Structure 1
Amino acid sequence: MTMKTKRITVIGAGLFAGALLLFGLLSFSRGEKPGVKPVFADNSPAVQIPSSGLAVAEALQDAFRSVSDAVLPAVVEIDVVETKTVESSPFDSLPFFFFGTPKQEDRKREYSQQGLGSGVIVQHTGNTYYVLTNHHVAGSATEISVKLYDGREFKGKLVGTDERKDIALVSFESKENIAVAKLGDSDKVRTGDIVIAMGTPLGYFASVTQGIVSATGRSGNGIRNISDFIQTDAAINQGNSGGPLVNIYGEVIGINTWIASQSGGSQGLGFAIPVNNVKKAIDDFISKGKVSYGWMGVSLVEVRDEYLKALSVGDKKGAFVSQIFLDSPAAKSGIQAGDYITALKGKAVASVDQLVREVGDLRAGENADFELIRGGKAMKVTVKIEARDEKVSSDNGKLWPGFIAVPLSDDMRKELNIEDKKVQGVVATNIQAKSPAAALRLQSGDIITAVNDKKVSNLAEFYSALNTQSNKSIWFEVYSDGHFITTGKYKF
């Protein structure tokens, strides 16, 4: 043993002796008396809880444990790699600069970006298992890895993805038996229901949080999603996307998708896609590799009270047909721009988003009955639905009339600085590029005062003149920048 080793040993012995002395002093200071046995707190319950209340708490705890035990084996972590292409500056590489500026295609650089999200196994056929997740998690992935609750990992394959609903389906192969989650009925979800969110928030694998349903039917307009959403205060963070929202019966009722937050973290405002909104999509992904949407060929908008009054629809909820695609299923069936749709297949329309979703879920070739109000009169129209074609549905050249007409209210007069009360008509807004309105050189803010030389002073008169069956061509009289002008003719 070296001197250094001896010194360390002595110091250690000194510390041990000091500890014994300190323990003796502490024991003496307690004033313990011979024959008195100390009582420690851990020999009795920490809190005295009435047996009835404890039974309820334990039952609730057992319920959460049971749900977690049953569902977590079907919850997965999804690790993805995305390959992105960016355009670099010609000055990023000096040798290229010295020999001339690179061509446009030579400036493109690729880089890989890793990401993480959650998913839930919803179906399996033979050795193939299908995982439901979000489009923004796996929709652009070039590599996908699926990690199970027990740590096993599998190579994933993107089956299909859909940006409109922000969902994607991933598959992996396994000969072993793996848990599959049960899908519930999200139409039965009510505010106040107890829910559990599962997933991999911030990389913490297989996490479980609990809360209640704060609201249902929340709009997805802010994130450009056609779904309505279940709002919950169960903690949802980055990485939870694609994981399941589960009810107390262990059924998946939603897919966690986004949060409203000022900090970027959970503030009790999490949102999940109702599972009923994606059940058809799962089958479409497996059979076709994509979601098939029904299409009727109209542009729908929400309208305010002044609109409802001008259209003579009272206080009925519905969706306003601001424009219609020429030669579309709706046009062929007799639906017109200016119609107010109040029901589809006997179900009342509560919002534009609801109607868009329900039309999208209709099958091509299916006949659908619509109830609507036109000129203050109730009507029924049957439309034969077609499959949505992105090229057709985005062709503004077929969108008639190519603008949204709004009432010329007092507020609108002030905004447009129109003091002359003799000017009557409707205001053209949201002129669509390449549409008939754009071809007629209309501009947002123009006042349409006549259609085919027939004076119009409100929305009802405007749409009545616009949709006159004898019209083979249409032109407008317009008040613009203090001048009355007549457009060219649009021929059908």
Structure 2
Amino acid sequence: MFKKKLTLSFSIILMLLCIIPSFSNASILIKDSNTQSLAPMLKTVTPAVVSIAVEGKKITKSKLPDNIPEQFKHFFGPNFPKDQATEQPFAALGSGVIINAEKGYVVTNYHVIKDADKITVALNDGREIKAKLMGDDEMSDIALLQLDNTKDLSQIPLANSDNLQVGDFVVAIGNPFGLGETVTSGIISALGRSGLNLENYESFIQTDAAINTGNSGGALVNLNGQLIGINTAIVGPNGGNVGIGFAIPSNMVKNLVNQIVKYGKVRRAVLGIIGSELTADLAKAFDYNTNHGAFISQVLPDSAASKAGLKPGDIITSLDNKKINTFAQLRANIGTMGIDKTITLGILRNGKNLNVKVTLESAKGIPDAETKEINKVLNGTTLQDINSGIKVVDITKDSSAYRYGLRQNDIIIGLNKIKINNKKELEKELSKHKNDIIALHIKRQNATLFIIMK
């Protein structure tokens, strides 16, 4: 009996010896932890993250009936349109971030506010404020709004996103599914992500912080409460979160916003090269001992790159001392900078590292092109006066004009039955038909046609 009690006592003592260190270590971990809660940081940040509600009309196309009167068809000639476009009202929700409280600047995604006629911003204190669009850029998915009332606003300072590292802790704040302000946390999973849309300028921050529908335009912040990115996209079935979210880096946002504030638009710069990713085969062929960079296969004549002395076969390894890993990253960085900016490119040529200064320029052939809003129906177009009319040098694919049928390189030669020679005449005639159906007379290659728009 005594042996049983003694054995039991030793067993209890051994258990206690095993348990006590565990509690002791836990106590040390809690005591040494610097971040007990994100609440203090969030109290300063969340008032600057807003919900955005938009209302507008979208264009939908439908087939015209076969029984159109012949005299109406005759009025337009053989190019009478086979489809008709109708407007359908819509409403949508998203998020935004106040980056300048004094001036009421709110940054969000372009896709949150596109086609919007009315924009309302809801603050976390319950106030609702009307906002106007200052400018946007579809290719980088950024838009800048300005609030009508700037009283008692908060703002989030922008961090230097070039200093981010994979593994940094981040917090995403937004308005998912219209539920209201929601906070999620995670880490930076990757940097410089691209390929979601090959036509756009992408160098995303990838994070596993939960980002869902409605989070678009919201804030991605570091643990110091600084803005490191604008949440913009997710990859997942049916739009749900699977731990793969993307944000536009704050440095890109800053470059774009500064241009919109100064010019009312993004004055996109080009380097003037054609290139590709640096593959292992390319590196081997050119005997380059590197696994990162943007390979130059062609330098366009009379371009910024040509004037700076860049050559085919060069590998761009850095931009202003920032490492360049891929051609897509280089394209995104250049494409979100303004024209006339001088940059320093680190290049690898014939085994030697060189630094080359380049002054960025606009795309050649469209020096006088403007994206100024001539009329709402032509939003998203870039027009240029030429001898034979007005050339459409660029048009966004989700614009009303594109959905009505206007295309890049079309030449506008008339409106209804009035001949149009330049943008000034077009603006004057459009002002007479603000809410009317118009017939835009277009020259396309060797044919002319009418495009019906409203």
- TM, length-normalised to structure 2: 0.66
**5+ long unaligned stretches in structure 2:** 1-22, 370-381, 383-408, 410-454
1:55-92, Cα deviation, whole Å (9 max, x unpaired):
6699855x32222322221111111123222332122x
Cα shift at 1:165? 1.8
Aligned-residue offset at 1:264:
1.9
Structure 2 match to 1:113: 90
Structure 1 unmatched runs, 5+? 1-48, 395-433, 435-492
Instruction: Determine if the alignment matches structure 1 residue 385 to structure 2 residue 360.
Output: yes
1:214 corresponding residue in structure 2? 189
Measured against aligned partners, the alpha-carbon deviations of 1:32-69 in whole angstroms (never above 9, x if no partner) come to xxxxxxxxxxxxxxxxx9894896699855x3222232
**Is the deviation greater in 323-332 or in 68-77?**
323-332
Q: CA deviation at 1:371?
A: 4.0
Select between 355-364 and 201-210 the one with higher mean Cα deviation: 355-364
Match of 1:189 among 153, 156, 164: 164
What SS does structure 1 have at the residue aligned with 2:41? helix
Q: CA deviation at 1:299?
A: 1.8
Which residue identity does 2:149 align to in structure 1?
S
Q: 1:122 to 1:175 in 2, by over 3 A?
A: closer
**Paired residues of 1:72 and 1:149 also in contact (CA < 8 A):** yes
Greater Cα shift, 149-158 or 356-365: 356-365
After superposition, the Cα gap between the structure-2 partners of 1:383 and 1:231, relative to the gap in structure 1 and judged at 3 Å, is closer
Distance 1:140 1:304, change over 3 A: same
- Answer with 1 or 2: which has the greater Rg: 1
Question: 1:80 and 2:54 equivalent?
Answer: yes
- Separation in structure 2 between the aligned mates of residue 262 and residue 132 of structure 1, nearest angstrom: 27
Contact 1:134 1:166 in 2 (8 A): yes
Q: Is the 8 A contact 1:79 1:114 kept in 2?
A: yes
SS state of the match for residue 256, structure 1? strand
Q: What count of residue pairs does the alignment treat as equivalent?
A: 342
Question: Which of 192, 205, 214 does residue 180 from structure 2 map onto?
Answer: 205
Equivalent-residue separation in structure 2 for 1:179 and 1:119 (angstroms):
13
Other structure's SS at 2:202 match: coil
1:322 matches 2:297: yes
CA deviation after TM superposition for structure 1 residue 367, in Å? 4.1
Alignment of 1:133-144 (within 5 A): 133-144=108-119
2:177 is paired with a residue of what secondary structure?
helix
1:164 to 106, 128, 139: 139
Change (3 A) 1:292 1:148: same
Tell me the distance in 1 between the aligned counterparts of 2:283 and 2:43.
52
Aligned AA for 2:226? E
Amino acid at match of 1:107: Q
Distance 1:300 1:180, change over 3 A: same
Q: Does the aligned pair in 2 maintain the 1:159–1:286 contact within 8 Å?
A: yes
Q: Structure 1 residues 309 and 223, CA, compared in 2 at 3 Å: closer, same or farther?
A: closer
Q: 1:242 Cα deviation (Å)?
A: 0.4
In the TM superposition, residue 390 of structure 1 has moved relative to its aligned partner by: 8.4
Q: 1:98 to 1:384 in 2, by over 3 A?
A: closer
Task: Specify which structure has the bigger relative contact order, considering alpha-carbon pairs within 8 angstroms and separated by 6 or more residues.
Answer: 2
Alpha-carbon RMSD = 3.4
Instruction: Determine if the alignment matches structure 1 residue 226 to structure 2 residue 201.
Output: yes
1:124 to 98, 101, 105: 101
2:96, 2:108 within 8 Å by CA — same for their partners in 1?
yes
Q: 1:82 to 1:321 in 2, by over 3 A?
A: farther
Q: 3-state SS of the aligned residue for 1:285?
A: helix
Separation in 2, partners of 1:115, 1:273: 21
Alignment counterpart, residue 69 of structure 1, candidates 43, 51, 64: 43
Give the alignment's TM-score, normalised by structure 1: 0.62
Residue equivalent to 1:352: 327
